[in-house]
């Protein structure tokens, strides 16, 4: 299973964060990647583009609302897919009946008589 990163993850904020928090997080994250390269020389331009994209979406109320709705739909679909897979697996596994302890079996037999 692969990890899925959201715009909230790129800016390191919670989904309900206010706009001021998003702006501060954007500045903080950009400062960390200000030159577009890591200490080992790795190119981080793709990550910087994702951070800019995340800020653009989350700073616009309309785009953020649409993005949150899409995240909710994706989460609901993933939950349904997982439930279906688990339900299908549950029907294929044999059910194991636990053996009844002898004292309990004797008590049931006495009650039935």
Domains of the chain: 1-83 (1.10.287.110)
Token pair listed for 48: 């910087």
Q: What is the reported pLDDT for 11?
A: 93
**Surface-to-core class of residue 12, CB atoms within 10 Å of its CB (0-12 exposed, 13-18 middle, 19+ buried):** middle
Q: What is the reported pLDDT for 45?
A: 79
* pLDDT tens, N- to C-terminus, the chain (113 residues): 557 889 999 999 999 999 999 999 999 998 887 765 666 666 777 888 899 999 999 999 999 999 999 999 999 999 999 999 888 877 766 667 777 788 888 888 888 87
The closest alpha carbon to 45, from 56, 67, 30, belongs to: 30
Q: What is the reported pLDDT for 39?
A: 62
Q: What is the reported pLDDT for 53?
A: 94
């Amino acid at each position: 299973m692969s990890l899925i990163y959201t715009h909230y993850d790129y800016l390191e904020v919670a989904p309900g964060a206010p706009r001021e928090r998003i702006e501060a997080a954007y500045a903080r994250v950009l400062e960390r990647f200000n030159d577009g390269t890591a200490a080992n020389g790795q190119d981080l331009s793709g990550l910087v583009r994702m951070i800019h994209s995340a800020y653009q979406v989350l700073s616009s109320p309309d785009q953020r609302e649409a993005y949150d709705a899409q995240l909710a739909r994706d989460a609901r679909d993933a939950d349904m897919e997982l439930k279906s897979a688990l339900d299908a697996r549950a029907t294929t596994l044999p059910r194991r009946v636990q053996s009844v302890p002898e004292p309990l079996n004797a008590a049931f037999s006495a009650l039935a008589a």
